[in-house]
Every structure is written in structure tokens, then in C-alpha cells.
Structure 1
Amino acid sequence: MILLSSSSGLFQCTNKLFLSDEATGLQIKEFARKNAANALSLANMVMGIASILSSLNGHHHAACWLVLIGYLLDLADGAVARQLDACSALGAKLDDFADFTTFGIATSLLLRTSGLLDNILCVCYVLSVFTRLCFFTSGIPFMYRGLPCIYSAAILASASLLSGENLPMLRVIAVFMILFMISQTFYPHDRVLESQAWKKAVYAGGIVMLFCSSFPPACVYYLLWSVSYILFPTSLWSSKV
């Protein structure tokens, strides 16, 4: 009798432990689902901070590459959030903070020198990114107002790497990017990872180029990708989910 009671108690303890482990596993999975996109946004922000530190320490090439890595991360976080049904106000704010860090402050420092005019240009670039993020909503579904700062950052980073940090050329490009970002022109919400197969292939090609290609072809690839969004926004990049 005592043996049966002891066995029953052991079974109940084991069952409770199993159920507790199962509940913990479900909680971990739910936490991961809700925060997968936030993790990508945080990774984007880390790339931006690392790029800022690289620029301040004179590692210009590393600063440019870190901006391009942030480019890929930013294109992925929204798609992951929608795919996992994990969109939230916190995620949207975190994405904006990451974008401002990587594509605003970090990118502007690619233009920084000791000259007063260059510093003024950096400030103007950061303010244009801030303006762009503030007026993100266009009122039209799947459309942006003003050029998304991610593309202007990729153009500047790629052009900087290809030109060997040709400052006169970068200044001209930066001025044009500022004008595009603060303009009232409508641009499509590309949703690269949720659209046609060829767009997903372009994204996959960006990953391959970034980690497996020599640096000139990779820079050309990102430059053409970003410029195509400006030149052919509707015919190429309109969202057809």
C-alpha cells in the first residue's frame, strides 16, 4: 500500500515536471516568435553603432560595409514581423531608431571631415533622414512619401567604396539623396521578401555578394540595386504580394 502511494506520488511529480517543461518550451517559442523581428532591428542598430565607431576611428571601409549589412537586416525585419504576425508599436519604434542610427548618423559620418561645410552637410543629411522617418506614412497603402533612407545610405556606402572615398563626388550624391528624401514624391513599399521570386533572388544575391564576393562586384551590385529603386520605382519595385 505504501509502495503504491509512493509510486503514485512519483508519477504525479513527473507529470507536473513534464507539463511544466512543456509550458516553458511553449513560452520560449512564443517569446522568440514575438521578438524575432525586434532582434533583427537590434542587430541593425548594432551595425549602425559599430559603423559610427569605425568612422570615428578612421576605419572607413569597415564603416561602409556595416551600413550595407544593416541594409539587408532592415529589409528582413518587416517581412519577418508580418510573416510571424508579430507586428507591434514597440517593433515599429525600434525599427525607426535602428534606421536613424544606421542610415542617418552612421551614413552621415561617411561624409565627415574636419571641414566646416562637410560637417554642415552631415547635419543636413541627419536632419533629412529624421524628416523622412517622421513623414513615413503617406496615406496611400503600400507607398512611402520621400525616398526611404535605406536606399540613399546604400548608394552613399557603395559609391564611397568604389570611388576610394572621393569626397567631391560623395558630397554631390549626398545633396541629391537629401533632396530625394525630403521630396513629396511617392515610392512603392517594395517588400522584397514577400513579393515576386526574382526580388527574393535579388536579396539572396545581396547576401552572397556581401560575404562571398570580392569587393568591387559587391559594391556595384548594391549600387545598381539601390539606384534601380530610384529610377524605376513603380515598374520594378511596386509591391505585388
Structure 2
Amino acid sequence: MVMGMASILSSLNGRPYAACWLVLIGYLLDLADGAVARQLNACSALGAKLDDFADFTTFGIATSLLLRTPNILDNILCMCYMLSVFIRLCFFSSGIPFMYRGLPCIYSSAILACLSLLTGGNMAVLRLTAVAMILFMVSQTLYPHDRVLESQAWKKVVYAGGIIMVFCSSFPPVCLYYLLWSVSYILFPMSLWSCKV
């Protein structure tokens, strides 16, 4: 949630570069928070609600602000993106254990943040990508809820690589790394990211 709030402030202060980085750091933290809570035996109903608030702050509000311009249509797209994240978080339960209905907003946010950094905030690319991500999030497609830090060793290596890339690399390789990671989840959810693999 702190990363999301900091990203919002960065966007409002005209610093989209920092806003994107904060969303990507939020991506890493979101993948770790459940594993940490389970390790500390600190799971609770309140924690689950706070996780949804943090997700909406970072992957809803903060990410949608990457789409904001003085153009009224961009602002409508910004609101539509935020609403799709809200719908996704409210109705994600598929009734099937370890499965989500609709693309988890963490992946759509990572894709938007990476493309914003790689293209220098090219609005044509961001608009098209945002529309595609909205459709993926509100779709009825099933996606696995894989606990990356509590799964196969290679997934832990991918996560560790994400941390190393953020702190030790220049931004084009980092963006490509996160972009490939997120797109692989969209294209190969069951064959790569299912907890049954």
C-alpha cells in the first residue's frame, strides 16, 4: 500500500518514471506478502481485506494514473481501468481452489508500468495495452493462484531475479524481465504457472 501511495504522489507531481518503479516494487511485495504472513502464522480476515485495499491502491489507482493526461478520453480510460481492477478484486473468486476468474491486476499493472518506461510514456501504446488488460481482467478466463515463493524452485529463482534486476540493473533489461514474466503468466497460465506443474 505504501508503494501504491508513493506512486500516486509521484504521478501527481509529474514524475511518471518514479511512479512506474514504485508499481514494480509493489509487484514484488505483493507476491511476497502472503508467503510472509503464512510463515509468521499471521493470516487473518483483516489481513485479507488490507491486502485487497493495498492491491486497489497500487494496481488500481496508482497504475491508472499512468494513463492520465489532460485529454478527457484518457481520463475516462483511467477510470475504466480503475473500475476493472475494482470489479476484478470484488469478484475474483472462481469457486475453484487456487484459481482466479479474470487476470490478476498485478500482472496487468506490471505490463503497463514496463511499457510506460520502455516507450517513454507513449500514450498510443499505453491506451491499447490498457484496453487489452481491462478485457483480460473482466474476462471469465481462469488463471492459477500460484504461491511463487511457496512453489517450485525455478519460480523462486524468477522472483529472486526480479529483486536483483530492480537493484542491480538499468531500466530496459528490468522492464523486459518483468514484461516477459507477466506476459508468460497471461499466455501460459496453466502450463507454466499452475501450482500443479
For this pair of structures, how many residues does the alignment match?
197
From 87, 90, 107, give the equivalent of 1:151: 107
From 165, 185, 188, give the equivalent of 1:229: 185
Residue 91 (structure 2) pairs with residue 131 (structure 1): no
Residue 152 (structure 2) pairs with residue 196 (structure 1): yes
Partners of 2:121 and 2:68 in 1: how far apart?
Answer: 11
Shift of 1:83: 2.3
Superposed CA offset, 1:26-56 (max 9, x none): xxxxxxxxxxxxxxxxxxx011011001001
Partners of 1:120 and 1:139 in 2: how far apart?
Answer: 32
| Higher helix content, 1 or 2 | 1
* Partner residue in 2 for 1:10: none
Secondary structure, aligned partner of 1:187: strand
From 130, 135, 146, give the equivalent of 1:179: 135
Partners of 1:136 and 1:232 in 2: how far apart?
Answer: 19
Partners of 2:117 and 2:44 in 1: how far apart?
Answer: 36
1:15-164 matches, within 5 Å, as 45-164=1-120
Identity over aligned residues, as a percent?
A: 84
1:71, 1:150 within 8 Å by CA — same for their partners in 2?
yes
Partners of 2:128 and 2:77 in 1: how far apart?
Answer: 10
1:196, 1:240 within 8 Å by CA — same for their partners in 2?
no
Shift of 1:84: 2.4
| 2:72 alignment partner AA | L
Secondary structure, aligned partner of 2:88: helix
Higher RCO, 1 vs 2 (CA within 8 Å, ≥6 residues apart): 2
Partners of 2:41 and 2:77 in 1: how far apart?
Answer: 40
* Partner residue in 2 for 1:13: none
Ranges in structure 1 where 5+ consecutive residues have no aligned partner = 1-44
TM-score normalized with structure 1 length: 0.81
Ranges in structure 2 where 5+ consecutive residues have no aligned partner = none
1:79, 1:193 within 8 Å by CA — same for their partners in 2?
yes
Shift of 1:239: 1.1
Moved over 4 A (4+): none
| 1:75 alignment partner AA | L
Shift of 1:82: 1.9
Superposed CA offset, 1:98-136 (max 9, x none): 000000000000010000000000000000000000012
